[in-house]
Structure 1
């Protein structure tokens, strides 16, 4: 089971991972937790929309963009909160 991905040099620990091929492009879906402490950094990262994606445990790397994104909580500014994030990234061809 994949335990981490890297988006633009930011390591993210994941609790779920799925990998597929869609129209000959890589697509991955991940689930991960975000704490109120990490919320600002993760939100800022995700607003970039397109990333250098690395999955070290699969020796996989590609340029990817957000296909789907959701979170279980919208305000993680309150101390001690934890949100579950779901993210799907689709490879973009140059």
Structure 2
């Protein structure tokens, strides 16, 4: 199983990874945990919407945009909370 993904230069440890090709473009769905301590940094990263995506273990790299994302918890500002994020990225056409 793929254990990490990089969005720009941020390494994110994964709980789940799925990949498929749609019209010859990558579509990657991941699930990962976010702690209250890292929530702000992850939120600011995801607000960008488009990233250099790297999956080092599969030697995959592409420019991708958020297709869908959700979280299991809405208030990660409270100390010692952990939320689970579901994120789907799609490769952008050149």
Alignment of 1:14-93 (within 5 A): 14-93=14-93
1:81 deviates by 0.3
Q: TM-score, normalised by structure 1?
A: 0.99
C-alpha distance in structure 2 between counterparts of 1:15 and 1:57, whole Å: 15
Number of residue equivalences: 94
Q: CA RMSD in A?
A: 0.4
How far does the alpha carbon of each residue in 1:15-66 deviate from its partner, in whole angstroms, 9 at most, with x for none?
1000100111001000000000000000000000000000000000000000
Structure 1 unaligned residues grouped into runs of 5+: none
User: TM-score of the superposition, structure 2-length normalised?
Assistant: 0.99
Q: How far apart, CA to CA, are the structure 1 residues paired with 2:72 and 2:90?
A: 22
The equivalent residue for 1:10 is: 10
Deviation at 1:78, TM superposition (A): 0.3
